Structure 1
């Protein structure tokens, strides 16, 4: 996913672009905090779900 921060066309506004989706923020600090949190969630480990039926078969 492409994530970028850019100055908005209106004064004191900032946009965060995530591919083609845009979210507006009132300040650069708010936009940056959002991006940092978003990237942290994207880069966090995501374990794959394991079927409970598979666990029962492996234990038998």
Structure 2
């Protein structure tokens, strides 16, 4: 599970988006918020499982 939050930077240099151990700096809260919304939309988007055309699909037993 990815934990995502927005924090004010220690200096007056903007805002940080914190994703587990990763930190991304933004100049404004609005930029950080837009990034978080887009990231969450992508994480929550449907992701089809890749299917190989060369292998049969396993059937559950």
**Matched position secondary structure for 1:9:** coil
Q: CA deviation at 1:9?
A: 1.1
Deviations 1:7-34 (A, max 9, x none): 0012151000000100000000000000
Gaps of 5+ in 1: 56-60
Gaps of 5+ in 2: none
Provide the residue aligned with 2:38 in structure 1.
37
Provide the residue aligned with 1:49 in structure 2.
50
Mapped partners of 2:10, 2:28: distance in 1 = 13
Bigger radius of gyration: 1
Question: Following superposition, which runs of at least 4 residues in structure 1 exceed 3 angstroms of deviation?
Answer: none
Mapped partners of 1:25, 1:10: distance in 2 = 12
Q: CA deviation at 1:51?
A: 1.2
The structure whose residues are more often helix, as a share, is 1
Aligned residues, how many? 55
- RMSD of aligned Cα (Å): 1.3
TM-score calculated relative to the size of structure 2: 0.83
